Structures are given as structure tokens and as C-alpha cells.
């Protein structure tokens, strides 16, 4: 046993003591101050206010960002309305598609710079920004560029019409990718946009504004205004907005729903999650454990669809727990710019405080906490990957969204038991099932109340595939054909036979 432990220790040490492989900060140009992108130009905010954006891994200030007030929002919405009426809705769909395609190409060309900025601004590992966020953002633009001139074929028998001006509000966990998810389908369907990124992570959206400017998109078609929740609220409450697309917390989603009740504004809301990842005893356990690690620990658990609740069939529980703990020890936590890093910085001090609050709550509730022994940097916001066992189904750590690298583990015996436990949450965004049996996958996927269910994999995304939730995880779908419909009026039937 002693020998086995020594071997294991050596393995962990060698994984963690890899020579640093940092990406260069010089690959990115970040201005010391950013204004609002309105009507095709960068303009000083009428509010005259700016706030700092920091690098959560070093706590250093990266830039100053304009803080848009209600007058700035009004200016942006007016620009979007004029662009909609005079240019965008009249433009042949094929031409619209070309602009979207051009934006996609330019994201690809600037991929390295965008990845570096995403990591500096948000704290996620460069591997993640480089291999996932930026390519997925480009892919969304490519995908929706293709749909622009094929809308009648997407909705046979209908005469699809754009809605007008879309107000879009996005969170800090996938800043560029969320901007792409929102902007690409709006443009493809002929709508114009006012987008507000999250206050902690505005930089890649502003870089996207530069790309949009360089792509010569007609002024006002996309406006990007930065600011806090108050800016978001002003956008939601603006009378001339036709559609709200929001991704963020369930609490703010409820505020938005109340604010637009009784208006003509359409909405899609992608909110919180508390996904169940389920391992059956016939699953390939090593792959399943890797999938669980990918589902909650990579990207610091800053994913609304993170597999934060693990359910393991009782007969393989001990085995799975051992494998998980061993794998946890090999995870590298630290400098997000290092290409070896698995877990980067928590996005903000407030978020780290929230996670730490839940670590205390979990222990007070009687759960057993296990943390990796990895050293974490003294500066910046970091959290060790954490597992809770002996967790009650009703406990707060298994019911509430923590949004950090924290996994609860429970056991189950039968399919029905795990379906009931997995569904026993206010959320319903995603779930994962690990088993060798197709019949089990079909049984669970039809009974789990979750918008996305991954089988023998986790956190896989594709622009052709719809994404969205049940229950308090929101409504409406983004991605795929489904992602076009919320930006269209589909009430009118087609007056002639296109075929
Ligand atoms: P998170 O908890 O992930 O930070 P939030 O829901 O607080 O999520 O924030 C997501 C986005 O919503 C951010 O861009 C934020 O500025 C914006 N926001 C916050 N409060 C409001 C509000 N009352 N109305 C509209 N947008 C808001």
C-alpha cells in the first residue's frame, strides 16, 4: 500500500511540477479605456462614468469600461431602430449572410488575441478560451450565416418576419461565446441588436465591436453598451425593444420576467442550473470519472450546465470515489495563462466569497468535505476543487447553484430512484448519463426534466444543437434551427408555394 501511495504521489507531483508554459500577454492589445459602441462608432458615455475591469488571477486593473446610463441605452436603441427600419430589414438576406460570414472569418483570424483577452479578463484557463470559447463563437457566426437566406425553408408554410430591435444581456462565464450565441441568430433573422456584456468581462465583446466595425456592418445594426445591472435594467425597460434575450441568474431572470409582463416584448431566458451527472454500474468508469471532472472542475465550475451533482450507483460508489479523489489530486490550479492549467481563477472576489460561503454551509449541514491538496496562488481568486460526500438530497449544497468547482456526491440503487433524485431540484438545464446500455439512456433521457441530456459524454456544444432549460432554468432555445424561431414572427402563413 505504501508503495502504491508513493507511486501515486510521484505521479501527482510530476503532473503539478510541469515547467510553466505561459501564453504571451503580448498577443493581445487592450486599450486603457473603452467607450460605448453605438451606431458604428466608439463614443464616450453620456454618463461620463467608467469602471475598472480587473484580471481575477492577479487582481491587476486591465482597463476602464464605460458605464452606460439610461440616456446611453436610449441612444443605442434609437440607433438600432433606425438601422432596422432603414437598412437591415430591407437588405437582401443573402447580403446579410455575407456580413455574418465575414464576422466569423475575422473572429478566426483574431482567435489568438481573443483567447488571451478572454483569459486575462475572466480567469478561465487559456486552453479553454483557445480550444472552446473562441472557436465555438466563430462557429455560431458561420452556422447562422448559412441560415440567413434560407429562413422560409427553415419554417415551411410560414412567412418569417424579424421582430425589430433585440436587447441582449449576457453573463461573465462565456463572454465572447454568449455574445455570438445572441448576435448571430439576431442578424441572420434580420433583427438589429443592443448587447450588454457582464460588467466583469466586457473586453471580448468590445473586441467583437471592433471586428464588427472592421467588417463594415452598417452602423447601428449591432450596438454594444457596457455597464452594470442598472444598464441591463434600462435596456429591459426601454419601450422600443421588441425582444429580450437574457442569460444569467434565475433571480435576475425573474426580475426581467416581471418587468416585461404585460408588454409586447418577447423573451428568451437561459438561467441557472444544478445538473445531475449519473453513473451506472455498467458504465466505463474511467471515462465517466473524466467526464465528471470535465463537467464540474474544468472552467472552475463557472458553467450553468455544470454537472454539479453526481449520482453513483451504490455498487460502484467506492471505486468511483477513489478514482475521483485520485484524479482531483492531479488537477493543476493556478495561472490561467499557463497552457497546463486545468482550473483557473474564480471570476471575481464576490463569486469566490459565494463559493466559500457554500463550503461552510455544506459542512454545517453535515456533509463531508474533501479538497485537493494542491497549492493555490496567494494573489488572485482561486479555489481548490472540492467534493462533498454524505450529502442529503434536501441540503442547500445539493439544491442551490454554487457556480464553483464544487461537486456533491450521492448514491442510488435503481433507475426510478435516480430519476426522482435528479429531477428533485428547481432547475432543469442539463444532465449526464453514463452507462453501457442504450435502453437505459433512452429511459432516462425521456424522464429527466432537463433541456440537454448528454450520454457518455458531458459539456459538448455544437451550433446546430439547441440549448435551453426547463423549470427555473428558463425558457426558449438557443442554437440550431430552434434558435432562429425566438427572433421571428411566425404568425403569417406563406401566401404562395415556394416549392
Ligand atoms: P451572475 O450571477 O451570473 O453574475 P446576473 O444575473 O447577476 O448573473 O448577471 C447577468 C447579466 O445580467 C449581467 O450582464 C448583469 O449586469 C445583468 N443584470 C444584473 N441585474 C440586472 C437587472 N436587474 N436587469 C437586467 N440585467 C441585469
Of 73, 171, 200, 235, the one to substitute when testing ligand 1's pocket (max ligand atoms within 8 A of C-beta) is 171
> Count of CB atoms within 10 A of residue 349's CB?
13
Residue nearest atom 27 of ligand 1, based on CA coordinates:
229
Domain assignment present for residue 494? The answer is no
pTM of the model: 0.95
The single residue of 118, 270, 401, 472 carrying the catalytic annotation is 270
How does pLDDT run across 182-224, given as a tens digit for each residue?
999 999 999 999 999 999 999 999 999 999 999 999 999 999 9
Cα gap 201→169, rounded to integer Å: 12
Q: Are residues 35 and 60 in the same domain?
A: yes
Q: Are residues 417 and 299 in the same domain?
A: yes
What local confidence, expressed as pLDDT, does residue 494 receive? Answer: 83
Phi, psi for residue 43 in degrees, rounded to 5: -130, 145
For residue 383, give Cα distances in angstroms to 112, 290, 314, 364, 374. Answer: 27, 20, 29, 19, 10
Domain assignment present for residue 498? The answer is no
> Count of CB atoms within 10 A of residue 19's CB?
6
Residue 333 pLDDT greater than 90, yes or no: yes
Domain assignment present for residue 6? The answer is no
Cα gap 403→264, rounded to integer Å: 33
What local confidence, expressed as pLDDT, does residue 18 receive? Answer: 79
What local confidence, expressed as pLDDT, does residue 19 receive? Answer: 86
Q: Using the mean position of ligand 1's atoms as its centre, give its distance from the Cα of residue 435 in Å.
A: 37
Which atom of ligand 1 has the smallest separation from the CA of 255? 23
Cα gap 148→167, rounded to integer Å: 20
Domain assignment present for residue 349? The answer is yes
How does pLDDT run across 19-58, given as a tens digit for each residue?
888 899 999 999 999 999 999 999 999 999 999 999 999 9
Residue 64 a catalytic site member: no
How does pLDDT run across 103-161, given as a tens digit for each residue?
999 999 999 999 999 999 999 999 999 999 999 999 999 999 999 999 999 999 899 99
Q: Using the mean position of ligand 1's atoms as its centre, give its distance from the Cα of residue 233 in Å.
A: 9
Task: Determine how β-strand 60-66 pairs with β-strand 41-43.
Answer: unpaired
How does pLDDT run across 466-487, given as a tens digit for each residue?
999 999 899 889 999 999 999 9
Q: Are residues 308 and 437 in the same domain?
A: yes
How does pLDDT run across 59-99, given as a tens digit for each residue?
999 999 999 999 999 999 999 999 999 999 999 999 999 99
Q: Are residues 178 and 311 in the same domain?
A: no
Q: Are residues 166 and 287 in the same domain?
A: no
What local confidence, expressed as pLDDT, does residue 15 receive? Answer: 63
Domain assignment present for residue 234? The answer is yes
Closest CA to 397 of 306, 303, 304, 308: 308
Contact 283, 436 (CB under 8 A): yes
How does pLDDT run across 368-399, given as a tens digit for each residue?
999 999 999 999 999 999 999 999 999 999 99
Q: Domain total for the chain?
A: 2
Q: Using the mean position of ligand 1's atoms as its centre, give its distance from the Cα of residue 376 in Å.
A: 29
Q: Are residues 114 and 223 in the same domain?
A: yes
Residue 445 pLDDT greater than 70, yes or no: yes
Cα gap 352→341, rounded to integer Å: 18
Going by pLDDT thresholds of 50, 70 and 90, the confidence category of residue 499 is very low
Ligand 1, pocket residues at CB < 6 Å: 169-172, 196, 198-199, 228-229, 232-233, 236, 248-249, 252, 255-256
Which atom of ligand 1 has the smallest separation from the CA of 198? 14
What local confidence, expressed as pLDDT, does residue 10 receive? Answer: 54
Domain assignment present for residue 4? The answer is no
- Domain containing residue 322: CATH number: 3.40.309.10
Domain assignment present for residue 445? The answer is yes
What local confidence, expressed as pLDDT, does residue 2 receive? Answer: 43
Q: Three-state secondary structure along the chain?
A: CHHHHHHHHHHHHHHHCCCCCECCHHHCCCCCEECEEECCEEECCCCCCEEEEEECCCCEEEEEEECCCHHHHHHHHHHHHHHHHHHHCCCCHHHHHHHHHHHHHHHHHCHHHHHHHHHHHHCCCHHHHHHHHHHHHHHHHHHHHHHHHHHHHHCCCECCEECCEEEEECCCCCHHHHHHHHHHHHHHCCCEEEEECCCCCCHHHHHHHHHHHHCCCCCCCEEECCCCHHHHHHHHHCCCCCEEEEECCHHHHHHHHHHHCCCCCEEEEECCCCCEEEECCCCCHHHHHHHHHHHHCHHHHCCCCCCCEEEEEHHHHHHHHHHHHHHHHHCCECCCCECCCCECCCCCHHHHHHHHHHHHHHHHCCCEEEECCCCCCCCCCCCCCEEEECCCCCCHHHHCCCCCCEEEEEEECCHHHHHHHHHCCCCCCEEEEECCCHHHHHHHHHHCCCCEEEECCCCCCCCCCCECCCHHHEECCECCHHHCHHHEECCCECCCCCC
Residue 14 pLDDT greater than 80, yes or no: no
Which residue range(s) make up the domain with 404? 276-463
Q: Are residues 133 and 244 in the same domain?
A: yes
Closest CA to 280 of 152, 437, 488: 437
Q: Are residues 57 and 84 in the same domain?
A: yes
- Domain containing residue 155: CATH number: 3.40.605.10
Q: Are residues 48 and 195 in the same domain?
A: yes
Cα gap 167→70, rounded to integer Å: 13
Provide the percentage of residues in the chain whose pLDDT is more than 70. 96
Domain assignment present for residue 192? The answer is yes
Cα gap 327→290, rounded to integer Å: 8
Q: Are residues 307 and 255 in the same domain?
A: no
Q: Which residues contact 478 (CB under 8 A, 6 or more apart)?
A: 181, 182, 185, 245, 268, 270, 466, 467, 468
Q: Are residues 300 and 264 in the same domain?
A: no
Q: Are residues 130 and 205 in the same domain?
A: yes
**Range picked from 6-20, 294-308, 338-352 for highest mean pLDDT:** 338-352
Closest CA to 274 of 451, 486, 82, 482: 451
Going by pLDDT thresholds of 50, 70 and 90, the confidence category of residue 1 is very low
How does pLDDT run across 219-238, given as a tens digit for each residue?
999 999 999 999 999 999 99
Amino acid at each position: 500500500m505504501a508503495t502504491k501511495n508513493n507511486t501515486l504521489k510521484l505521479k501527482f507531483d510530476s503532473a503539478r511540477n510541469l515547467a510553466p508554459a505561459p501564453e504571451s500577454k503580448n498577443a493581445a492589445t487592450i486599450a486603457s479605456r473603452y467607450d460605448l459602441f453605438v451606431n458604428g462608432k466608439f463614443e464616450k458615455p453620456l454618463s461620463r462614468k467608467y469602471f475598472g475591469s480587473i484580471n481575477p488571477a492577479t487582481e491587476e486593473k486591465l482597463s476602464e469600461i464605460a458605464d452606460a446610463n439610461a440616456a446611453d441605452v436610449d441612444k443605442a436603441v434609437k440607433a438600432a431602430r433606425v438601422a432596422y427600419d432603414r437598412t437591415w430589414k430591407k437588405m437582401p438576406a443573402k447580403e446579410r449572410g455575407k456580413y455574418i460570414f465575414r464576422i466569423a472569418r475575422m473572429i478566426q483570424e483574431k482567435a489568438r488575441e481573443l483567447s488571451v483577452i478572454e483569459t486575462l479578463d475572466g480567469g478561465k484557463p487559456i486552453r479553454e478560451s483557445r480550444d472552446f470559447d473562441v472557436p465555438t463563437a466563430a462557429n455560431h457566426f458561420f452556422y447562422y450565416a448559412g441560415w440567413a437566406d434560407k429562413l422560409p425553408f427553415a419554417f415551411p408554410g410560414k412567412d418569417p418576419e424579424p421582430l425589430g430591435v433585440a436587447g441582449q444581456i449576457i453573463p461573465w462565464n462565456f463572454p465572447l461565446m454568449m455574445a455570438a450565441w445572441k448576435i448571430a441568430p439576431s442578424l441572420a433573422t434580420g433583427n438589429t441588436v443592443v448587447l450588454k456584456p457582464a460588467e466583469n468581462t466586457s473586453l471580448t465583446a468590445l473586441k467583437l465591436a471592433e471586428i464588427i466595425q472592421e467588417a463594415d456592418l452598417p452602423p447601428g445594426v449591432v450596438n454594444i453598451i457596457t455597464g452594470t445591472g442598472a444598464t441591463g435594467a434600462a435596456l429591459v425597460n426601454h419601450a422600443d425593444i421588441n425582444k429580450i434575450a437574457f442569460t444569467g441568474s434565475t433571480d435576475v431572470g425573474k426580475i426581467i420576467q416581471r418587468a416585461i409582463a404585460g408588454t409586447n416584448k418577447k423573451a428568451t431566458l437561459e438561467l441557472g442550473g444544478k445538473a445531475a451527472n449519473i453513473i451506472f454500474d455498467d458504465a466505463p468508469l474511467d471515462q465517466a470519472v473524466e467526464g465528471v471532472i470535465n463537467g464540474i472542475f474544468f472552467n472552475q465550475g463557472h458553467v450553468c450546465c455544470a454537472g454539479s451533482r453526481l449520482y453513483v450507483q451504490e455498487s460502484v460508489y467506492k471505486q468511483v470515489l477513489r478514482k475521483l479523489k485520485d484524479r482531483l489530486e492531479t488537477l493543476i490550479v493556478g495561472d490561467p495563462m499557463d497552457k497546463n492549467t486545468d482550473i483557473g481563477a474564480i471570476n471575481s472576489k464576490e463569486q469566490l466569497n459565494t463559493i466559500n460561503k457554500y463550503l461552510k454551509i455544506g459542512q454545517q449541514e453535515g456533509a463531508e468535505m474533501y479538497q485537493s491538496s494542491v497549492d493555490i496562488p496567494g494573489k488572485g481568486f482561486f479555489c481548490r476543487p472540492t467534493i462533498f460526500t454524505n450529502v442529503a438530497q434536501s441540503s442547500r449544497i445539493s439544491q442551490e447553484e454554487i457556480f464553483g468547482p464544487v461537486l456533491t456526491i450521492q448514491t442510488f440503487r435503481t433507475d426510478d430512484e435516480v430519476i426522482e433524485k435528479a429531477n428533485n431540484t428547481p432547475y432543469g438545464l442539463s444532465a449526464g448519463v453514463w452507462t453501457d446500455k442504450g435502453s437505459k439512456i433512452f429511459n432516462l433521457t425521456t424522464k429527466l426534466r432537463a433541456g440537454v441530456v448528454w450520454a457518455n459524454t458531458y459539456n459538448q456544444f455544437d451550433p446546430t444543437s439547441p440549448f435551453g432549460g426547463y423549470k427555473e432554468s428558463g425558457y426558449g432555445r438557443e442554437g440550431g434551427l430552434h434558435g432562429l424561431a425566438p427572433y421571428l414572427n411566425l404568425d403569417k402563413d406563406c401566401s404562395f408555394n415556394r416549392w
